[in-house]
């Protein structure tokens, strides 16, 4: 029971994290006035959204992040403790109880994303909306793939993605 609660909290927390970013950026992206867009805007938008779908959505989320989160959720269900229960979303994201390399990567990625967010706020419309729409596509792909991988992790007995939890013997 304890592990189920931790896994549900971890799943919900990661979904809320990604979902809130999708909603916030989607609201900015929807401020774009398509009537005022020039050919260059449309061209950049198509290229950027395609780029983000492939590199963020497919390569980043579907091939890495999503199966790892699902594996960590499955691991959490069977290996919950009070720390992991309370911080389940952070555990699932790999901020602790992960290989040292993964923790460093996640912390550096968080810092880079934070810095990019700070810089993007100064980009004028419609470019800001175009950038945000691409990120929304990537995050939406990521959230969808994470949900699918999580279902597979709890249904398939042969879900073989590593949780990336170091052996502490």
Give the mean pLDDT of 155-163: 90
Cα–Cα nearest to 91, from 72, 114, 65, 104? 72
Distance CA 129, CA 53 (A): 16
Q: 14, 143 in Cβ contact below 8 A?
A: no
Give start and end residues of each alpha helix (H) in 30-99.
39-52, 66-78, 82-86, 88-93
Q: With cut-offs at 50, 70 and 90, classify the pLDDT of residue 163.
A: confident
Cβ neighbours for 131, distance < 8 A, ≥ 6 positions apart: 48, 120, 123
Q: pLDDT (tens digit, 9 = 90+) per residue, 34-90?
A: 888 999 999 999 999 999 999 999 999 999 999 999 999 999 999 999 999 999 999
Determine the pLDDT at residue 164: 87
Determine the pLDDT at residue 83: 95
Distance CA 155, CA 146 (A): 14
Determine the pLDDT at residue 166: 81
Q: Which two three-digit tokens encode residue 134?
A: 């691409």
Q: pLDDT (tens digit, 9 = 90+) per residue, 91-118?
A: 999 999 999 999 999 999 999 999 999 9
| Cα radius of gyration (the chain) | 18
Cβ neighbours for 108, distance < 8 A, ≥ 6 positions apart: none
Instruction: Give me the chain's average pLDDT, please.
Output: 94
Q: 94, 106 in Cβ contact below 8 A?
A: yes
Question: Structure pTM?
Answer: 0.91
Distance CA 16, CA 79 (A): 23
Determine the pLDDT at residue 169: 44
Instruction: Output the CA–CA distances (angstroms, integers) from residue 95 to 21, 25, 54, 92, 100, in the order listed.
Output: 19, 24, 25, 8, 10
Q: pLDDT (tens digit, 9 = 90+) per residue, 7-25?
A: 999 999 999 999 999 999 9
Distance CA 27, CA 122 (A): 17
């Amino acid at each position: 029971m304890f592990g189920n609660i931790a896994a549900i909290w971890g799943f919900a927390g990661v979904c809320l994290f990604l979902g809130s970013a999708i909603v916030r950026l989607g609201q900015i992206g929807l401020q774009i006035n398509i009537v005022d867009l020039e050919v260059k805007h449309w061209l950049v938008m198509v290229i950027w959204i395609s780029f983000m779908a492939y590199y963020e959505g497919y390569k980043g989320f579907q091939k890495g992040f999503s199966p790892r989160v699902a594996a960590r959720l499955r691991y959490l269900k069977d290996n919950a403790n009070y720390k992991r229960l309370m911080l389940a979303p952070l555990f699932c994201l790999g901020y602790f109880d992960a290989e040292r390399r993964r923790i460093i990567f996640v912390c550096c990625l968080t810092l880079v994303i934070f810095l990019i967010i700070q810089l993007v706020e100064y980009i004028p419309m419609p470019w800001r909306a175009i950038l945000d729409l691409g990120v929304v596509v990537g995050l939406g792909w990521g959230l969808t793939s994470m949900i699918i991988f999580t279902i597979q992790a709890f249904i398939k007995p042969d879900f073989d993605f590593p949780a990336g939890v170091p052996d502490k013997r």
